[in-house]
Homo-oligomer: A and B are copies of this chain.
Amino acid sequence: MESRTRFAVLGALAEGPRSVYTIKQDLEATVGHFWHESFGQLYPVLRQLTAAGWVVLQEEGGPRDRKIYALTPQGHDALRSWLEDPGEYLPPPRNEFLLKLFFGRHVPRAHSLARLRRYAERLRATQATYEAIERELLDPAAEDENQAFWLATLRHGQRALQGGLAWCEETQGLLAAPNEARQQGANE
């Protein structure tokens, strides 16, 4: 469905010339919590982008035999026009965690409660990494034109986490409370 991979790449290259390998690293370190690219995708895409004139091979065969790509003015235009496009693609949702929870009645409550606990645990772990990112981002030495936008996406994650944890608490009560007895089915 009209892949967005190229725009992620353009965005990364807008910070300066980079190799594919570095682009991947950068994406992981910055947008990794809400965007992912694999090498199998990136290498072909960089060829395409070069063919389209949105990117140029700036330097080749350094010490590690790496290829440095740079954004062209046309590439920057393409990035901008994608950013100006009001729409964004929403993938058909597929949340296996919620799906399992939804069908919880077919299984003893303990399973759903345990699942919930593991989920909360994951959230708390993520929370810690977000805090690290926050410290880095709020460091006054690191202030740049990206700060507000980067902070915005970070805050999005933090709000989601916060809501998620509150939900875990609430839901634990909801599932623990009543009819554990009213189980049907063969297992214990």
Contact = CB atoms under 8 A, between A and B. Distances in A.
A163 interface: yes
Contacts of A47: none
A182 B145 contact: yes
Interface residues of A, number: 71
Interface stretch (A16-24, A51-59, A61-69, A99-107): A99-107
Nearest to A98: B34
B156 A99 contact: no
Interface string A88-112: 1111111111111111111100011
A142 to B, nearest CB: 14
A184 B111 contact: no
Most buried by B among A35, A93, A106, A182: A106
A174 B145 contact: no
A187 interface: yes
A160 B164 CA distance: 7
A70 interface: no
A148 interface: yes
7 contacts: A102-B150, A148-B174, A151-B174, A155-B171, A156-B164, A156-B171, A159-B167
